[in-house]
A and B are shown apart, each in its own frame.
Chain A
Amino acid sequence: MTPDTRSAALQARLLLLLLLAPALLWLLGLIVLPHVELALLSLRSRVAPRVYEFSLRQFGTFFGEPLYWHTFVRTAVISIVATACTLLLAFPIAWTVAKLARGRQRALLFMLCMIPFWVSETVRTLGWTILLRESGVLPALLVWAGLTPAPPELLYHDATILVGLVYTSLLFMVVPLIGALDSLDDSLIEAAYNLGGSGPSILRRIVIPHAAPGIVAGCIVVFMLTLGNYLTPTLLGGKNSLWFTEQIYTQFITRFNWEQGAAFGFLLLILSTLIVWLGLKLSGQRFGDVMRRT
């Protein structure tokens, strides 16, 4: 290597570092530092005013109090179910946009998926409340149609939370799926059909293996958004939604028990990491491949 090319390489390296600097600063300042602080918080307990010592008491509380780990498991299960429902619902939509629609129609369909996201999440979720509450539109319609004698309360059920979560997450599943299905050559489907393949077998052997990185990418994003969602479960599930983010909120804001809140936050982080890792292992996808598709 001549000194010239060496200095050029150095320059390119410096430039790359400079371009990455904002992202790195953001990562360090807003993600890493607070988490270090949270980790320290979660591992100490107050023994006297302004006197703290190392302790695992917060984590002990979590396992000792059934309500906490009950909420924890429940949040994980509902998030997984919501992710699965979102995938099932988003797949036909993505298929229509990527494979069936052409030109303007395609842009229009994509717009239709986007439009709800122009409205703030709070307003959107409150919209659901207006539709579903006892004196709301849907119960009134049910009574009018003679299906029930009195308006039913449709809010504050697990199913309601699920509907809200799926609705909020749909776009984040549709976008990576469209990308994945778009890159699938139509002639592969035709070839499989020509060789005697039936619809379900083509889906299973050609379409899903091709779209797998996109599917997994969408699932990871949706799962993380759902698990960490606070607004939708609180508004649609009310007091008995029992969502884990609410427990964290309560500890930090209501109880002013930052140590407990920090421990819960860490447990949620471990949970999401564990489930994403498990999902990748089960689907046989590599994290790098999946991230390239998002």
Chain B
Amino acid sequence: MSFEVARGSFFSILGPSGCGKTTLLRMIAGFTEPDAGDIVIGGRSMRGVAPNRRPVNMVFQHLALFPMMNVGENVAYGLTQRGVARAEIIRRVGQMLERVGLTGAQAKRVDQLSGGQKQRVAIARSLVLEPTLLLLDEPLGALDLKLREHMKIELKQLQAAFGTTFVYITHDQSEALVLSDQVAVMNRGGFEQLGSPQALYYEPKTPFVAGFVGANNRFAGRATAVDGGRVTLASDAGLVLHARASDRIAVGDAVEAFVRPEIASLARDEAELPADLPRYRGQVESLLFDGASSAVLLREAVSQSEIRIALPQTGRFADLRVGESVAFGFDPQRAVCFAAPA
């Protein structure tokens, strides 16, 4: 595994739990030594450099604020260790708390803070040391959904305001997509793909990325025809669909195709669908209402395969009922097909 993080960027490492992302982060922080290879920060090799001597600070999963100290002492801790003069520490702590929106909170006890405020203290405590790199280990994991959404935006704004390089690890793909300039998708100790959130979403390079980033319908089968970049897949259940080939695929290969819920269009009458697209019919299995990201689960008429299709925001299908039969189709160019992993 080899990668570079540009100075001042927001870099995320996204992966399921147990994929090794925390180990990677702990290596960067210096809590774990790599068996082989090197980590270079700002042009300096970090081999044999102790964690307290690295230009790296970390925001821990459960924040690890010091409960025996108040907010001011928490933020001042690193500066005190560096031997900065008292007056200077007081000035810089005040300034830092102001920048994270906690003006005058120095004397508060840690347990008097809300989840979001604790988060900001943890970030302030690290950023006051002006690190080259700030590591964040799933800091939003312990927050409830509403606060998490809010803190996501706040984190992005803080990063933009400070210009510090952030390396953020998470298993939540939405956090990674919303926050990052670059995302590395990690699985089983290695990187599957590294790219912008858009690239990961629209042009996944591996079946794992296609399945992990965003919602996707997965169909496994054999390639029955290959025409340039276009593959025809037939599933065991008898579903035939077309998709763009992501890598070299030969006729007869085992393949996997991924169709995003939002690329398929839905119609009550088949004639409403664009004439040049392959069309399918299906029965509404269940309605998955979720506000803006509502979807419908269909059972395709021929193969009985399940497929999830996003409902358009126009409210045209607001009266859709379970059991109703509808038509759907999608542009094969926007679906992607991979050779199945051996």
- Enumerate chain A interface residues (CB-CB to B < 8 A): 185, 187-188, 190-198, 201, 205-206, 209-210
Contact B68 A210 (CB under 8 A): yes
Given the known inter-chain contacts A201-B81, A205-B77, A206-B68, please indicate yes or no for A195 contacting B60, CB distance below 8 A: no
Q: Which residues of B contact A206 (CB under 8 A)?
A: 66, 68
Q: Which residues of A contact B81 (CB under 8 A)?
A: 195-198, 201
Bound-state CA distance A210–B81 (Å) is: 19
B29 adjacent to chain A (CB < 8 Å):
yes
Bound-state CA distance A206–B65 (Å) is: 11
Contact B64 A190 (CB under 8 A): yes
How many residues from B make CB contacts under 8 Å with A? 23
Residue of B nearest to A212 (CB): B68
Q: How many A-B pairs fall under 8 Å by CB? A: 58
- By DSSP majority rule, is chain A's interface helix, strand, loop, or mixed? helix
Contact B31 A190 (CB under 8 A): yes
Bound-state CA distance A201–B81 (Å) is: 8
Given the known inter-chain contacts A196-B129, A209-B68, please indicate yes or no for A190 contacting B77, CB distance below 8 A: no
- Enumerate chain B interface residues (CB-CB to A < 8 A): 29, 31, 51-53, 56-58, 60-62, 64, 66-69, 77-78, 81-82, 125-126, 129
Contact B52 A194 (CB under 8 A): yes
Residue of B nearest to A206 (CB): B66
In the A-B complex, the 4 residue pairs with the smallest Cβ-Cβ separation, listed nearest first, are A191-B64, A195-B78, A209-B68, A187-B64
Bound-state CA distance A190–B51 (Å) is: 9
Bound-state CA distance A118–B51 (Å) is: 44
Q: Which residues of A contact B78 (CB under 8 A)?
A: 195-197
Given the known inter-chain contacts A190-B31, A209-B68, A210-B68, please indicate yes or no for A197 contacting B77, CB distance below 8 A: yes
Distance from B128 Cβ to chain A, minimum over Cβ atoms (Å): 9
Q: Which residues of B contact A194 (CB under 8 A)?
A: 29, 51-52, 56-58
Q: Which residues of A contact B77 (CB under 8 A)?
A: 192, 195, 197, 205
Distance from A206 Cβ to chain B, minimum over Cβ atoms (Å): 6
Given the known inter-chain contacts A195-B77, A197-B52, A197-B77, please indicate yes or no for A185 contacting B129, CB distance below 8 A: no
Given the known inter-chain contacts A190-B31, A191-B58, A205-B77, please indicate yes or no for A198 contacting B64, CB distance below 8 A: no
Q: Which residues of A contact B31 (CB under 8 A)?
A: 190, 193
Distance from A233 Cβ to chain B, minimum over Cβ atoms (Å): 38
Q: Which residues of A contact B126 (CB under 8 A)?
A: 195
Distance from B156 Cβ to chain A, minimum over Cβ atoms (Å): 23
Bound-state CA distance A196–B57 (Å) is: 9
Residue of B nearest to A197 (CB): B81
Q: Which residues of A contact B29 (CB under 8 A)?
A: 194
Contact B60 A191 (CB under 8 A): yes
Contact A188 B82 (CB under 8 A): no
Bound-state CA distance A198–B82 (Å) is: 10
Q: Which residues of A contact B57 (CB under 8 A)?
A: 194-195
